[in-house]
Amino acid sequence: MNTNRSSRVAANVAVLIVLIFLAGCVSRDMKLANKSFSAIENGQLADAEKVLTEALQVNPNNPYALLNLGTVYQRTGRFDEAREMFEKVVALNPTQKPAKRSKFVDDSKNLKEIAEDNLKTLPPKK
**CA 21/CA 15 separation, integer angstroms:** 10
Domains of the chain from N-terminus onward: 27-121 (1.25.40.10)
Cβ–Cβ < 8 Å for 101, 115: no
8 Å CB contact between 30 and 52: no
The closest alpha carbon to 36, from 23, 15, 50, belongs to: 50
pLDDT at 11: 46
pLDDT for position 107: 73
pLDDT tens digits in sequence order for the chain, 126 residues long: 455 555 454 444 444 444 344 344 568 988 988 889 889 999 999 999 999 999 999 999 999 999 999 999 999 999 999 999 999 999 999 998 877 666 666 678 899 999 999 999 999 887
